[in-house]
Structure 1
Amino acid sequence: MTLVYANMKMSEAIESHLALVPVVNRFGIRLGVGDDTVKAVCDAHNVDPDFFLTIVNTFINEDYFPEKKLQNFHLSQIIDYLKKTNLYYLQNQLPNIERHLHFFLHASDNTSLRLLGDMFASFKEGLRRRIEADEREWFPLLLTPTDTKSRRRPRPKPSSDDDEAIQATLDDMRHIMLKHLSGAYDENLCYAVLFAIDTLGRDIRQHNRIRHRILLPMIDDESNSLSEREKDVLRLIVEGLTNKEIAARLYVSVNTVLTHRKNITAKLGIKTTPGLTFYAITHRLIPEVK
């Protein structure tokens, strides 16, 4: 497996993997990097070298995906990268495919190929809807701190089915061109369309891996964590207090205590007092019994 390392020259890393050019640009790094190492270039652009290396190595290697390492980065870093990736799709890759596909279809005498134009229009609309949902709903809510003093707001989740449909449309376009082209057509334009589709498809696959294997687990972890009030209730449960005693201690109704207990059980999947005690100790909510 070929990897990029911090002490490598940035120019050599990019030259070995030209597909990294747009990825590097998303970090605000443009070509003309001289002989500086990857770390030096990252430092000069205020980019976290570890995060940069994790992203580029994930991009160039299908088998490289350090989930634990990615989950250690701040959520804002990952979302910022995905936002810039979305912007690149809209401003660069979609117009590039659209332009080449337009010329390719009009240069062909096979009118049935115009269906490729319809497929691309469907793909483009699906990708735009996903990006709009990201920017309007998903990313802003992910970056909004949860107010533990108020009721938790549900976190929206992207649909894996929608993402798979977007990817499948690109795959179908590529397969149709490879297997079912006929009649006269411009081979250079055909190659340009194929290359652009393949490049975007690969980019989207990496994008989806980060979305579904990093961000979604983060959301699940957050939704399963206890609020401060739920932690208070849990501590008192472990102490052996009854629901009525907990209500009196916290100045709330018994029904409120019952609701908190229900939420605790649903989030943790633990029903017994010994199990809750173990959770409270291991998560340092109460001192360890000696």
Structure 2
Amino acid sequence: MRGYKTDINSRMLFSKDMKIIELIDTDYDLLSILLRLDVQLPFGDISIEQMCRRYDMSPELFLMICQIYAVADFEPQVDQLTGEDLHCIIRYLRASHRYYLDTVLPAIGSGVERVLEDCDHKQGAIVRKFYDDYADEVRAHLNYEETQIFPYVESLIGGRVSKVQMAENMANHTDICDKVDDVKSIIIKYLPESCPTWKRCDLLFDLYRMRDDLAKHTLIETKILAPLVYAEERKLAL
């Protein structure tokens, strides 16, 4: 099935006439993008452009998000995007929030509990408190986006001016990616041998995936959402 094109460095080249099934074959992690966009199976033989038309999304934005997830060190350029893409960006980011809150955090919380079954009570209480504090920080971070950043963007799309501009919103926006490293360090370096390696590895896989996904989420916000919002602000002379 590998009929997709690559560049001279053997990196996949995405295009809007590429079939969805070919896209997934390049990197099955891209299924998570389709899930968040509520793209329904089966795909049949539709192209990316056909799928985007069906789900009211520009192919340029969709391909940019795919490249963020599939291509290491990809730096998005928003020249091909417009303010009309902001609706879909917000929709995607909100879907990512639901994925983190409803799927990722509960799964990691369960993994923490499985690991702690083999720790003594004192050790378990320390690790549990550390993870619970981190999970609360993630929820607060996402809630800030839901209650401050996204409503501001939506009001801007509607032509409504706010005293608080995007730069101020982003300045108050904390980074939660690095905090995952602290959780990983505890699991790898400090839990006793009585905690089985296979349980730790299962948990670490989830933590690494979460960190990578949060980093991509942040990249979409800082390199796609924010520049488009700044452009809209300039149009309104804010």
Q: Shorter-chain TM-score: what band? A: 0.7 to 0.9
Q: Which has the higher contact order (CA 8 A, sep 6+)?
A: 2
Relative to 1, partners in 2 of residues 1:193 and 1:45: Cα closer, same or farther, differing over 3 Å? same
Which of 125, 128, 131 is residue 136 of structure 2 equivalent to? Answer: 125
Q: Is the 8 A contact 2:119 2:192 kept in 1?
A: no
The equivalent residue for 2:8 is: none
Which of 198, 207, 211 is residue 197 of structure 1 equivalent to? Answer: 207
Pairing 1:10-49 to 2, within 5 Å after superposition: 10-49=20-59
Relative to 1, partners in 2 of residues 1:223 and 1:99: Cα closer, same or farther, differing over 3 Å? same
The equivalent residue for 1:217 is: 227
CA distance in 1, matches of 2:52, 2:158: 35
Are positions 1:157 and 2:169 aligned together?
Answer: yes
The equivalent residue for 1:144 is: 155
The equivalent residue for 2:5 is: none
Q: Is the 8 A contact 1:119 1:169 kept in 2?
A: no
CA distance in 2, matches of 1:159, 1:126: 17
Are positions 1:82 and 2:100 aligned together?
Answer: no
Which has the greater radius of gyration? 1
CA-to-aligned-CA distance 1:80-127 (integer Å, 9 cap, x gap): 111111111111111111112111211345953653322321221111
Identity among equivalent positions (%) equals: 23
The equivalent residue for 1:100 is: 111
TM-score, normalised to structure 1, is 0.66
CA distance in 2, matches of 1:152, 1:38: 36
The equivalent residue for 1:188 is: 198
Relative to 1, partners in 2 of residues 1:115 and 1:169: Cα closer, same or farther, differing over 3 Å? farther
Q: Is the 8 A contact 1:7 1:37 kept in 2?
A: yes
Relative to 1, partners in 2 of residues 1:214 and 1:189: Cα closer, same or farther, differing over 3 Å? same
CA distance in 1, matches of 2:71, 2:26: 13
CA distance in 2, matches of 1:194, 1:12: 30
Structure 2 residues without counterparts, runs of 5 or longer = 1-10
Structure 1 residues without counterparts, runs of 5 or longer = 228-266, 268-290
Q: What code does the residue aligned with 1:96 have? A: A
The equivalent residue for 1:52 is: 62
Relative to 1, partners in 2 of residues 1:14 and 1:108: Cα closer, same or farther, differing over 3 Å? farther
Q: Is the 8 A contact 1:94 1:124 kept in 2?
A: yes
Q: CA RMSD in A?
A: 3.0
TM-score, normalised to structure 2, is 0.78
SS at match of 1:59: helix
> 1:140 deviation in Å?
1.1
Aligned residues: 225
Q: Is the 8 A contact 1:109 1:183 kept in 2?
A: no
CA-to-aligned-CA distance 1:28-81 (integer Å, 9 cap, x gap): 124543444433444444443322211111112232222224653522121111
CA distance in 1, matches of 2:161, 2:173: 29
Q: Is the 8 A contact 1:6 1:49 kept in 2?
A: yes
The equivalent residue for 2:186 is: 176
CA distance in 2, matches of 1:211, 1:3: 23
Relative to 1, partners in 2 of residues 1:29 and 1:220: Cα closer, same or farther, differing over 3 Å? closer
CA distance in 1, matches of 2:91, 2:80: 14
